Chain A
């Protein structure tokens, strides 16, 4: 499991980069969902989001999940290319698979990488 230490993680498996405001889903999440075939970003640039608001909907071959905002603030960018290449979420969840950027985002309840790893291990039984 890959959990970059510069990121913060929400219980619902989104990552948030406090330095850039970027949001995506964790390696653990993409692995649980398995082969992702559809992504729909539910927010637009300029929209205000609150913590816990559904920002995207993701479907894999076997599962479907909503992605929630781990931070509050104004959406400054949306990864528009993602809907054409949903598999990027599997192959590069922390890079090309980013979803949105939240300008000067105020994080909600998030964990650091080591806490998140423990949290994931606790769930895999």
Chain B
């Protein structure tokens, strides 16, 4: 029998125990639906409020979080999440507005959304923005749908191929797969740029477009970005920008100015929406002039112009050739847009540029400190992140072992085994919200671990040893597939 560190909420249940009680009914009693429409049992836990609080407090302490310490997870932008955002997004005016209220009663929400659309357009250099997509991958799917709709409206039906670099996130090909298009993989060159010759060979009149992450997942800004964009456009394709790495570009360059046609934002990365253990995120999408008519519906617009005395009336508008609705209602308003709006408002244009500059400085500083100890296959000035190899000549230590050992030094590991084109990849993104002391401690720990890999490799193979839990048996989980639990068998309610 496995040792139980914390019982499940079901195991903690005791028949007849009560948490929050609801008021008695104040209306005459109506008869229930016929018995055959009612459920026979409700096997849910019964606990007192204090039981619930202690359970979740205990669980919370099993987690490592940004509030605990350094979380250099490459490509995820685990920056500090300002506390003020938690207050603004919970203002009663936001919390208690129903998404289907008449627009006259929610002008505050609509003004915020309208301004957010304008701000994101200005930051990215695009002509239109939808706030509807719920997450980055959802934004990608939105973008790819618009690209397909653009070609379709022009009756350009032979375009079925999407060009995707080998360093891309898995969501790129998966988004394309959802539309039944074919993926053509474009390799990277030795400096971490798109291989121009290979790209040229792939560009023809069957190309829908290209999905490019820039800076890419190696942390490299493509040195030939203008040629890449030109090649794709010359063959009639559209340029998709994966905005995962936008943190490096705020106030530095606008993807719209570089010729991109469409890009998703990750508000949970760049604009400090907390990651919440995996979500909710928020993935607005910006588009160039030629795609504005295809944006999902509805968008927020001005439905009655204002004047000196009257504010304009905000409402919803539907783009002419809209691909349709991506989700119910209007996007991740409360948890996503309000937090990001607060964050952008507090930074202003100079503050946003500072974010990118310091994110890039921190990454380059760490890269400089680790160069020489770890092999960095694409070694030049990086953007907000860099990738190094977690392996050493003549040692059986792997990137995974290094990651697990970092936990013993009380750091969250970097991203492992991604991008796929680097062996034993360790992808490190420090973000701008870490100080020099933290970066130095982290670099010192990695240098020490490299030494341990030579002298005491078992320390790495057996890591972590100081954490509450050790390495998990992932094969058992996948083979036995215990995916939920129930009330204990002898439970009598």
Contact = CB atoms under 8 A, between A and B. Distances in A.
A35 B478 CA distance: 9
Contacts of A35: 475, 478-479
Interface string B469-484: 0000011001100000
Nearest to B479: A37
Interface string A33-76: 00101000000000000000000000001000000000000000
What class of interface size applies to chain A in its complex with B? under 10
Contacts of A61: 474-475, 478
Contacts of B479: 35, 37, 87
A87 B479 CA distance: 9
A91 to B, nearest CB: 13
Interface in A4-41: 35, 37
Contacts of A37: 475, 478-479
Contacts of B478: 35, 37, 61
Contacts of A87: 479
A61 B481 CA distance: 12
**Majority secondary structure, A binding face:** loop
A92 to B, nearest CB: 16
Interface string B19-38: 00000000000000000000
Interface size class of B (residues with CB under 8 A): under 10
Interface in A78-95: 87
A61 B400 CA distance: 15
A28 to B, nearest CB: 19
Nearest to B417: A62
Nearest to B480: A37
B154 to A, nearest CB: 33
A82 B474 CA distance: 21
B255 to A, nearest CB: 32
A42 to B, nearest CB: 16
A104 B416 CA distance: 46
Contacts of B475: 35, 37, 61
Contacts of B474: 61
A78 B475 CA distance: 26
Interface in B434-493: 474-475, 478-479
B196 to A, nearest CB: 28
A61 B474 CA distance: 7
Nearest to A37: B478
Nearest to A86: B479
A37 B473 CA distance: 13
B129 to A, nearest CB: 35
Nearest to A60: B478
A42 B474 CA distance: 26
A61 B475 CA distance: 6
A87 B474 CA distance: 14
Nearest to A38: B478
B174 to A, nearest CB: 12
B449 to A, nearest CB: 23
A82 B380 CA distance: 49
B419 to A, nearest CB: 16
Nearest to A35: B475
Nearest to B481: A37
Nearest to B474: A61
A87 B481 CA distance: 14
Nearest to A59: B478
A87 B478 CA distance: 11
A10 B479 CA distance: 29
A56 to B, nearest CB: 18
A35 B476 CA distance: 10
A72 to B, nearest CB: 23
A84 to B, nearest CB: 12
B467 to A, nearest CB: 21
A65 to B, nearest CB: 14
A96 to B, nearest CB: 17
B477 to A, nearest CB: 8
A61 B479 CA distance: 9
A37 B474 CA distance: 11
A80 to B, nearest CB: 19
B471 to A, nearest CB: 13
A123 to B, nearest CB: 13
A59 to B, nearest CB: 9
B350 to A, nearest CB: 45
A28 B475 CA distance: 19
A10 to B, nearest CB: 21
A35 B475 CA distance: 7
A37 B478 CA distance: 6
A92 B474 CA distance: 21
A74 to B, nearest CB: 28
A33 to B, nearest CB: 12
Nearest 9 CB-CB pairings of A with B: A37-B478, A35-B475, A61-B474, A61-B478, A61-B475, A37-B479, A87-B479, A35-B478, A35-B479
Given A35-B478, A37-B479, A61-B478, 7 more contacts: A35-B475, A35-B479, A37-B475, A37-B478, A61-B474, A61-B475, A87-B479
10 contacts: A35-B475, A35-B478, A35-B479, A37-B475, A37-B478, A37-B479, A61-B474, A61-B475, A61-B478, A87-B479
